[in-house]
A and B are shown apart, each in its own frame.
Chain A
C-alpha cells in the first residue's frame, strides 16, 4: 500500500497471530459455524494488523475474513475470525 509500514505489529509478543483466509477457507469457516458473514465480529481495514497483512498478501478487500490465533488463559490457544470492514 501507499504508506510504508514502519513497525510490524505482528512481531510484538502481545499481538496475536493474524492470517488472511482465502475464499475457500472462508466459506468453510462459515459453513462450520453455520453463520453468514455479517454475523462475524469485525475488524477495520485500517487496523494495524490488517495493514501488515496487506504488505504480505497484497490489498485485502472489504468482506475478507481474518483468522486470529491468540493465547487464552482458559483454553491455551483460541481461534477467532473477523470480517474486514472499511474505515
Chain B
C-alpha cells in the first residue's frame, strides 16, 4: 500500500551503545586532560587529538585524510576507571532493578505470566498498534513484576529499591554502587528482557551503566580563537576535561589502594561530572558552571527547547532572499502592493531561466550590471549561474562579457522589479492572513510601505513595527502564492466569514463626512475629491443653485460602487429606535443602495469598515476579488479626499461641556454617593433587604455597584447632551472610526467605579484601601469610585485607585497572550500536517481519514455566509427586489397575529413607496 509515496520508512530502532562498540568506533583513546602543548599544537590522546577530525583550514585529518569540510569528524573514547550511571537511562534502570530478582536476576513473574504478557504483545504488534501502546504494556508488565515480594524462580525475598534523585539507588537504606547496579543488570537473562520492552539483540541493560564514554569529534565542539589570539574552548570540551581529570585521580587512588571513603567520594564526583556532561539542569544537583558563573550548555541543552536543535535548526531555518525593515503607510498604494526600498530590491533576486525566448531580454538586463544608473529604479543582475552550477558575480566591469557569454539553460539572478510576487509577513503569525502575497513596487527611502487597509490582518501599526519579506524563487511558488495568498484573495476571513481587510480610522471618518446628510460639493471641490480615482467622467450635478453646480456626497460615493449593486442595512450611527423610520431616518442611518446609487443613509464602519463592512462583504461575494480590490482602493482614496476637503482634528477641548452640565454631573454623583451611604447605613442597621441567594455583604455590593454604574451612565448622558454630531470626537466614536462614547463620557463626565476581579477595590490596608479612609468605610469614595473625569483631573486617592484597575488590565493581557500562545502552539502541532483531499475528506500524512467531510459540510468558512453555504435572504432580495422585505414583514405580523393582512398591506404601501419591483438578477 504505497499510495503514491515513493519511499516509506518501515521502522526506526533506537538503541544504546555497548562499551565495546564505543571502543570500536573510537578513533583514539583519550587519556590526558590537557588539550594543547606550549607551542599551540594539539596533544596526542588529548581532547583535541588530530585523529578526532579537523577544524583548522589547511590541515588534514589523521584518521581519514580529508580536509576541513570533507572530514565528518571521528569519535574518541574515555575508559572510565569505575562504571558510572547514565542519567538518561535512570528510569529504565530503576524499572529493571525493581522488576527483577536481586539474587538470580530473573523477572519477578512466573513463566506463565510472562507468556501471557508476551502473547498480548505479539497480538498488538500484529494489529498494527503503535509503539506507544507497546511501551505502555511493557510498563504495566514491569509494574506487575515489581509488586512481587518474593522471586517465583529462586524464592529469594526482594528488598525495596528506591531512587535517590538523580543517580543514587538505595536498597532499604543501603547504597548500591553503580558497579553493583551493573552486576545486577548483567544477571538479567535475555529472554526476560523482551516482556520488559527491551530487545536484547540491540541493547543489553548493563550498557546503561557507562564503562566507556564516547568523546564527540572536535567538529561538534569547535574551539574559537579570540582576537587576542587566546583559545576559547567549547563548553563540552570543558566538561570533558573535568571528567578526564577526576577519572585520572580516581584511577590513581584506586590503584594506590586509597581508603574506601576517598575512592567513593571521587567516584561520586565522577558521577556528578558525567551527569552534568549530559545535562547540566538535572534536578537535584547544582548546575555545572563556567568560571563566569554562567551555567554550561551541555548535550541536553543543545537539543531541548525553543533554542534547541529540533525547534530552531530542524523545524525552522534561516532563509535567503528575505528582507526586514520598518513599515510605514502609503494610502495611494493598492492593497495588493508593497513598497520595497531600492536598497532591499538591489539585494533581493529572482532566478530567471535562460530560454531562446527571453535570451535577448536577459542579455540586456545583464548588460545593466548590478547597479544601473537611471533616474527611476531599474532592476539589474547580481549573479549569473552557469549550467555546471558555477556562479559568476556580475560587476560593472564584466557585465558586457558576461552578457555576451550568456547561453541557454543559464540562470540569471535578476534584481527585484515592479510586479514581482513576494510574501509579506508580520509576527506573531497567528492566522493565515499574517502572511500574504503582495506585488512589489520599488520605491525610494528605507521602509516597506503598504495600504492602510491591510493593517488589520497583520495587526500592524506604524509605531516602529518591522515586517519580513520573502522573494519567491520558482514559477510554481509564484503562481500558487498569487492564486491563494494574494491580499485580494484574503479579504474575507475564514475566522468569521466577513471582510478582515477594509477601511479604518480616517477612511471611515472621511466616508462619514462625504455621505452624511446633505453634504454637497462645488465643482472644484468635487474634482479635488475625484482627482485620484480612475473614473474620469463626472456625473451630472444634483442641483444647481444660483447658477452654481453642486454634487452631493452620496452621488460621489455612488461613483465607486460596482455596476448594479444593491444593498440595504443600518449603519453604525443607527440609534436603534424602537420603530425604524427607514428612509426617513432623522439620523440618516438607514442605508439603501439601489442600482449602485446611494439613495439614503451614511457610509461608515458598518458599510466599509474592516471586520464589519457590509458593502465589502457583498461585493466580495457577488463580484469577486478583483472588484473588491478596486472598490477598496477607490473608496479609501475618495474618503481621504473627503476628509482632506474640510480637515479633521480632535483635542481635549472637544470634551468641553458647559458649567451647567458640570454642575449637574456633580449633583448626580453627590446624590449617588449619598444613596450608597444610605445603603451602607441600612446594611449596618441590618435593615437592608437581602437579595435571594446572596449574603448581606453581597447584596450591599450589588446594590452599590448598580447605583454607581447608573451614576456613571447618567453623567455620560448629561455630557453627551452637549456633545453633538458637529463634534469631531463624537463623529469618530459614532461612525466607528476610533474611540467609543464610553471613552468620551469618561473624559467629559465621570470615570466611574474602578474594579479588580470584578469587585469594588478592597485590597491594601487592614479593612481599608488607603489610610485616607476610616477602617471599615464602605462608602463610594473609599472603595474606588472616581467622580472626576479625565479632563477635570483625578484626586490622589482616585488616581491610585485608577492605577489599581489599570494594572489588572495590563497583567491580564500579559497572561492571556502567553497562555494563548502556548495553546496555539499545541493546536498547530496537532493539526499541522492535515489536509483536505480532492474527495473532501481530511486526512493526515499517513493517509488515514480524520474527518469524512471537511467541517462535516464541506463548506469553506470564508466563502460561507454566517455558517450557511449561502445567504437565503440575499437571494430572495435579489430575486424579489424590495418586495421581499414587504413579504417578510407581512409574514412576521401574520405569525404574531397583531393585525390583519389587509391593514398591514396598506400600511406598507403607505410608508415605503415601493418602486417598480425589479426582477433584475437572480441566476440562482
Indicate if B127 sits at the interface (CB-CB under 8 A): yes
Please indicate the chain B residues that have their CB under 8 angstroms from the CB of A34 in the complex. Answer: 839
Flag if A75 contacts B856 (CB, 8 Å).
yes
Flag if B856 contacts A40 (CB, 8 Å).
no
CB contact under 8 A between A72 and B849, given known A33-B841, A87-B133: no
CB contact under 8 A between A80 and B859, given known A38-B128, A74-B867, A85-B127: no
Give B348-389 as 1s and 0s: 1 = Cβ < 8 Å from A's Cβ atoms: 000000000000000000000000000000000000000000
Indicate if A48 sits at the interface (CB-CB under 8 A): no
Indicate if B396 sits at the interface (CB-CB under 8 A): no
Please indicate the chain B residues that have their CB under 8 angstroms from the CB of A36 in the complex. Answer: 1
Q: How far is the CB of B140 from chain A (nearest CB, A)?
A: 12
Flag if A86 contacts B841 (CB, 8 Å).
no
Flag if B852 contacts A74 (CB, 8 Å).
no
Chain A: CB-nearest residue to B847: A39
* A16 to B151 Cα, complex, angstroms: 50
Question: Could you tell me the dominant secondary structure of chain B's interface residues?
Answer: loop
Flag if A41 contacts B867 (CB, 8 Å).
no
* A31 to B128 Cα, complex, angstroms: 22
CB contact under 8 A between A40 and B123, given known A34-B839, A75-B857: no
CB contact under 8 A between A62 and B856, given known A39-B848, A40-B848, A41-B849: no
Chain A: CB-nearest residue to B120: A86
* A68 to B123 Cα, complex, angstroms: 27
Please indicate the chain A residues that have their CB under 8 angstroms from the CB of B852 in the complex. Answer: 33, 78-81
Flag if A86 contacts B124 (CB, 8 Å).
yes
* A26 to B127 Cα, complex, angstroms: 19
Indicate if A35 sits at the interface (CB-CB under 8 A): yes
Indicate if B855 sits at the interface (CB-CB under 8 A): yes
Please indicate the chain B residues that have their CB under 8 angstroms from the CB of A41 in the complex. Answer: 848-850
Partner of A62, one of B127, B846, B857, B859: B127
Give A20-44 as 1s and 0s: 1 = Cβ < 8 Å from B's Cβ atoms: 0000000000000111101111000
Flag if A74 contacts B857 (CB, 8 Å).
yes
Q: Which of B833-872 contact A (CB under 8 A)?
A: 839, 841, 843, 846-850, 852-853, 855-857, 859, 867
Q: Which of A40-87 contact B (CB under 8 A)?
A: 40-41, 62, 72-75, 78-81, 85-87
Please indicate the chain A residues that have their CB under 8 angstroms from the CB of B128 in the complex. Answer: 38
Flag if A86 contacts B839 (CB, 8 Å).
no
Flag if B856 contacts A78 (CB, 8 Å).
yes
Chain B: CB-nearest residue to A77: B856
Chain A: CB-nearest residue to B846: A39
Please indicate the chain A residues that have their CB under 8 angstroms from the CB of B127 in the complex. Answer: 62, 85-86
Give B99-143 as 1s and 0s: 1 = Cβ < 8 Å from A's Cβ atoms: 000000000000000000000000110011100010000000000
Chain A: CB-nearest residue to B852: A80
Q: Which of B705-737 contact A (CB under 8 A)?
A: none
Chain A contact-residue range equals 20 to 34
Chain A: CB-nearest residue to B843: A39
Chain B: CB-nearest residue to A42: B848
* A38 to B1 Cα, complex, angstroms: 11
Chain B contact-residue range equals 20 to 34
Please indicate the chain B residues that have their CB under 8 angstroms from the CB of A74 in the complex. Answer: 855-857, 859, 867
Flag if A72 contacts B839 (CB, 8 Å).
no
Please indicate the chain A residues that have their CB under 8 angstroms from the CB of B129 in the complex. Answer: 85, 87
Q: Which of B452-493 contact A (CB under 8 A)?
A: none
* A41 to B852 Cα, complex, angstroms: 10
Flag if A72 contacts B848 (CB, 8 Å).
no
Q: How far is the CB of B665 from chain A (nearest CB, A)?
A: 48
Flag if A78 contacts B853 (CB, 8 Å).
yes
* A35 to B850 Cα, complex, angstroms: 13
Question: Could you tell me the dominant secondary structure of chain A's interface residues?
Answer: loop
* A27 to B856 Cα, complex, angstroms: 22
* A62 to B855 Cα, complex, angstroms: 29
Please indicate the chain A residues that have their CB under 8 angstroms from the CB of B867 in the complex. Answer: 73-74
Flag if B849 contacts A33 (CB, 8 Å).
yes
CB contact under 8 A between A39 and B849, given known A85-B127, A86-B123: yes
Give B26-68 as 1s and 0s: 1 = Cβ < 8 Å from A's Cβ atoms: 0000000000000000000000000000000000000000000
Q: How far is the CB of B495 from chain A (nearest CB, A)?
A: 16
* A25 to B846 Cα, complex, angstroms: 25
Please indicate the chain A residues that have their CB under 8 angstroms from the CB of B133 in the complex. Answer: 87
Residue of B133, B839, B848 with highest tally of chain A CB at under 10 A? B848
Q: How far is the CB of B244 from chain A (nearest CB, A)?
A: 50
CB contact under 8 A between A38 and B848, given known A85-B127, A86-B127: yes
* A9 to B916 Cα, complex, angstroms: 60
Please indicate the chain B residues that have their CB under 8 angstroms from the CB of A40 in the complex. Answer: 848-849
Chain B: CB-nearest residue to A41: B849
Please indicate the chain B residues that have their CB under 8 angstroms from the CB of A39 in the complex. Answer: 843, 846-849
Please indicate the chain B residues that have their CB under 8 angstroms from the CB of A78 in the complex. Answer: 852-853, 856
* A73 to B864 Cα, complex, angstroms: 14
Q: How far is the CB of B821 from chain A (nearest CB, A)?
A: 28
* A72 to B867 Cα, complex, angstroms: 12
Please indicate the chain B residues that have their CB under 8 angstroms from the CB of A73 in the complex. Answer: 856, 867
Q: How far is the CB of A34 from chain B (nearest CB, A)?
A: 7
Q: How far is the CB of B192 from chain A (nearest CB, A)?
A: 25
* A36 to B123 Cα, complex, angstroms: 20
Flag if B856 contacts A72 (CB, 8 Å).
yes
Give B812-839 as 1s and 0s: 1 = Cβ < 8 Å from A's Cβ atoms: 0000000000000000000000000001
Q: How far is the CB of A41 from chain B (nearest CB, A)?
A: 6
* A34 to B852 Cα, complex, angstroms: 12
Q: How far is the CB of B50 from chain A (nearest CB, A)?
A: 53
* A80 to B853 Cα, complex, angstroms: 9
Flag if B853 contacts A75 (CB, 8 Å).
yes
Partner of A35, one of B123, B124, B849, B856: B849
* A65 to B210 Cα, complex, angstroms: 50
* A47 to B123 Cα, complex, angstroms: 19
Please indicate the chain A residues that have their CB under 8 angstroms from the CB of B1 in the complex. Answer: 36, 38
Q: Which of B533-553 contact A (CB under 8 A)?
A: none
Please indicate the chain B residues that have their CB under 8 angstroms from the CB of A38 in the complex. Answer: 1, 128, 848
Please indicate the chain A residues that have their CB under 8 angstroms from the CB of B839 in the complex. Answer: 33-34
Please indicate the chain A residues that have their CB under 8 angstroms from the CB of B855 in the complex. Answer: 74
Please indicate the chain A residues that have their CB under 8 angstroms from the CB of B124 in the complex. Answer: 86
* A84 to B857 Cα, complex, angstroms: 25
* A87 to B133 Cα, complex, angstroms: 10
Please indicate the chain A residues that have their CB under 8 angstroms from the CB of B846 in the complex. Answer: 39
Residue of A35, A74, A75 with highest tally of chain B CB at under 10 A? A74
Flag if B841 contacts A72 (CB, 8 Å).
no
Q: How far is the CB of B267 from chain A (nearest CB, A)?
A: 46
Chain B: CB-nearest residue to A34: B839
* A74 to B568 Cα, complex, angstroms: 27
Closest 7 CB pairs between A and B? A74-B857, A75-B857, A75-B856, A72-B856, A39-B848, A78-B856, A74-B856
Additional A-B contacts beyond A35-B847, A72-B856 (16; CB < 8 A): A33-B841, A38-B1, A38-B128, A38-B848, A39-B843, A39-B849, A40-B848, A40-B849, A41-B848, A62-B127, A73-B867, A74-B856, A74-B857, A74-B859, A79-B852, A86-B124
Give me 22 A-to-B residue pairs in the complex whose CB atoms sit less than 8 angstroms apart, sorted by A's number: A33-B839, A33-B852, A38-B1, A38-B848, A39-B843, A39-B846, A39-B849, A40-B848, A40-B849, A41-B849, A62-B127, A72-B856, A72-B857, A73-B867, A74-B855, A74-B859, A75-B853, A75-B856, A85-B127, A86-B124, A87-B129, A87-B133
Chain B residues proximal to chain A, CB less than 8 Å: 1, 123-124, 127-129, 133, 839, 841, 843, 846-850, 852-853, 855-857, 859, 867
